[in-house]
Amino acid sequence: MTVMRVAMGQVSPVLGDVPANVDKHIQIAQMAYAQGAQLIVFPELGLTGYLLKDMTYEVARPLDHPDVQRLVAQSKDIDVLFSLVEESASHRFHISAVYASGGKIVHVHRKVYLPTYGLFEEGRHAAQGTDIKPFTAPTRPPAGVMICEDAWHPSVPYLLSVAGVDVLYVPAAGPGRALSGDPHSGSQQFWERLLRTYAQLFTCYVVFVNRVGFEDGVFFFGQSFAVGPDGEIIARSERIEEDMPIVDIDLSLLRRARYRTPLLRDEDVYLTQRILQRTLGSEG
Amino acid sequence: MRETSVHTSLRASVPGVIPVLEAFLRHEVGKTGFRHVVFGLSGGIDSAVVAYLAVRALGAKYVHPVILPYRLSSAASLAHARLILEDLALPEQVIEITAQVDAYFANFPDASPLRRGNKMARERMSILFDQSADRQALVLGTSNKTELLLGYGTQFGDTASALNPIGDLYKTQIRELAACLGVPLPIREKAPSADLWEDQTDESELGFTYEVADAVLHLLIDERLSVQEVAIKSGCSVPLVEQIARRVRLNQYKRRMPLIAKLSSRTIGIDFRYPRDWGQ
């Protein structure tokens, strides 16, 4: 399969109501399936809402929980990438993204970089993920997941890239700061610059799905988009409300792009490894 | 104060906030199960901006401004409030606060203007929250960021509300927003006043202009510059910058819920931490 149709489920989750959000995810996944999509990507914490604070404890679900499995079952028709507070067997609470396909969980990424500054307090409630690795769902291209802040650390796409990915999925709960006079503003523009650069540097597709809605006055700006391996935006939502843009990812373009600009071929991971070891050795 | 690059950059980004504030009102009002909003319409620029935003976001049918005059309120205030109602095709509701305020101060004839002003602000709040229950309407706040930071408002009076769409905008940004929203010129051009007594103006009472306050506050708060750096960048004297910084500190209490003595392992406001939207 050289073309994969991906839907971006730009939803506004109901804060703290997991069953209602599962219903919403299923409903939108069915709409995407009806439009011929093979995969729908939902935003970070789409099953729970974002500003959870002490609600973290109440909305967390182990992956075998019926709420989660109800959505996983939906992936018999269409692959679903969704995000929730995952409670591990040892009761660690992770911000996780789950890729389900064929009615089964294929991959789980636990958010590694938990922003705990400014308006963010993820590190107060969530446990850090400890692995970054790509996965391949049946008949799909190799892919990697970065949850929001993960993507602001270039080591994350780098590690995924050297392990081999054709697509990077970025579920996000990105707050907007509409006043660009604010020095921390322009997170929207930053996301675009960042992910277009990654797509071009790692010659892969990037799919950014950001939530919408408000929680306690915090505005999530949506405007989900997909970028091709030449760094050009190939689909986007112009909306700050719920939306479901669809993008056709033509994997045959990767062959051309990687021959024309063979950055992946030329990347010297052993050099990187040697220098990292030397740097850490001298400082550690 | 002359126009500076600080003011230009503060204002430049204002048009972009309109769709966000409209969405804020729709989402945050909708979540509560309410459809209507109520707020005091003074005839000044802040409540005018809230009226225009609310009508854009929710439609005139759901927007209930209330004019709450005292006998000493200026005639211009009432005329300006009516100008807004006419422009937005909103019905007029006037509730006088004179009888209840005068009845109370008949017991305290020597009360200072400050006490009288605060009492009026709290009477208005009390009426708005009663109207809220009557109309099933959320109370919108109309305090801007400059007032909230300087503490230039009455605690549990005009600073009380359920939702405030303009609390992250400085006064100079409110002026820009008012122009974008088409607020009538007389309202945009008059001197800002709490209108609590005759000939009161905010700027004479504060002792500095909003242009000065906004430049200093933006550099102190948003840009996190030191007092000395702010003085250099804004062209204001160090004592003036210090005076403004001190006001922000002294009025922190007005921006917070009351302190609770911590006794248990989960104390409200300390380690019982839920978003306000928890209950929606």
Please check whether residue A235 touches B, CB under 8 A. no
Whether the per-residue pLDDT at B187 is higher than 90: the answer is yes
Cα torsion for B205, B206, B208, B212, to the nearest 10°?
Answer: -140
Model confidence over A90-124: pLDDT tens digits? 999 999 999 999 999 999 999 999 999 999 999 99
Please check whether residue A122 touches B, CB under 8 A. no
Please tell me the predicted confidence (pLDDT) of residue A179.
77
Test A216 with B276 for CB contact under 8 angstroms.
yes
Test B16 with A180 for CB contact under 8 angstroms.
yes
CATH number at residue B147: 3.40.50.620
- In a domain? residue B254: no
> What are phi and psi for residue B117, nearest 5 degrees?
-60, -45
Please tell me the predicted confidence (pLDDT) of residue B154.
96
Model confidence over A116-126: pLDDT tens digits? 999 999 999 99
Report the pLDDT averaged over residues B119-135: 97
| Nearest-by-Cβ selection for A180 from B13, B273, B276 | B13
- In a domain? residue B20: yes
A97 contacts A49 by C-beta, under 8 angstroms? no
Total structural domains within chain B: 1
| Nearest-by-Cβ selection for B24 from A16, A52, A217 | A217
Residues ≥6 apart with Cβ < 8 Å to B275: A15, A51, A52, A53, A55, A215, A216
Model confidence over B10-69: pLDDT tens digits? 888 899 899 999 999 999 999 999 999 999 999 999 999 999 999 999 999 999 999 999
Tokens of A131: 């692995």
- In a domain? residue B229: no
Cα torsion for A120, A125, A127, A129, to the nearest 10°?
Answer: -30
Test A214 with B275 for CB contact under 8 angstroms.
no
pLDDT band at A188 (very low <50, low <70, confident <90, very high): confident
| Nearest-by-Cβ selection for B275 from A176, A183, A215 | A215
Q: What is the mean pLDDT of chain A?
A: 95
- In a domain? residue B121: yes
Burial group, residue A65, by CB count within 10 angstroms (0-12, 13-18, 19+): middle
The complex's ipTM works out to 0.89
Please check whether residue A55 touches B, CB under 8 A. yes
Domain ranges of chain A: 3-283
Question: Parallel, antiparallel, or unpaired: how do β-strands B137-139 and B36-40 relate?
Answer: parallel
Please check whether residue A189 touches B, CB under 8 A. no
**H or E element that contains B133:** helix B113-135
Q: What is the mean pLDDT of chain B?
A: 95
Please tell me the predicted confidence (pLDDT) of residue A180.
60
What is A3-283's CATH number, 3.50.50.60, 3.40.190.10, 3.60.110.10, 1.10.510.10? 3.60.110.10
pLDDT band at A69 (very low <50, low <70, confident <90, very high): very high
Report the pLDDT averaged over residues B248-277: 94
Whether the per-residue pLDDT at A182 is higher than 50: the answer is no
Domain that includes residue B147, residue range: 5-199
